[in-house]
Structure 1
């Protein structure tokens, strides 16, 4: 396999732009906006000229907390839930006691109302027909009643 000969000189072609429209007028540039031109000498002696590029500035590092906010919120939620559970336990105890109290009031009302009805049905009537007999010591001799 044969290799082609190496060229001894390199031709560089610079393309020429074709302007189909007239060039736009240049606006005056403020002196502080044009970046500075820098030249760098390479180790082999060549000089490279170009615009100096400022390094990208990183955003300042924000202070990170030792404990994440999520962990703190979960812990506070747990503490609040525990406090609410104690209150709910007291609330259920209160409701149970209130239920027992209302039950006792209903029972007492039934006993009082039932007693009142019993007195009305079986009690003494001052005005009424019939004979009222109060028996204290009953003595019966020879089929005769002595009261």
Structure 2
């Protein structure tokens, strides 16, 4: 701008030559087809046909989802472990039955030994015999 600001400074745009568009690639089979269209107002437009845009191909989904595969593999693993768990529970059950039979056998043997000691025939020579001869019972009391 001018320092005195009395006369405005005009700027005129300078036209430039645009870069020409690249030529369309001609396929090896020959030149692309040229189409002419007549508009309703009588104008004629001529140009190359533009092929329709092809949508991007869809990604192919696997027939089974990964989550389903993981769940199935987990089920197979669980089924494999269940056999071992079944054997473990069978072992614990058998061990419990064995210990129960040992306790019953010990009770029978020990109980039989006690029964023989209590009810068995005693040799009188080894025991103490007490003869009560002058015992007196008065009013349900024993006076010896």
Please say whether Structure 1 and Structure 2 have the same fold, judged by a TM-score greater than 0.5: no
TM-score (structure 1 length as normaliser): 0.42
TM-score (structure 2 length as normaliser): 0.43
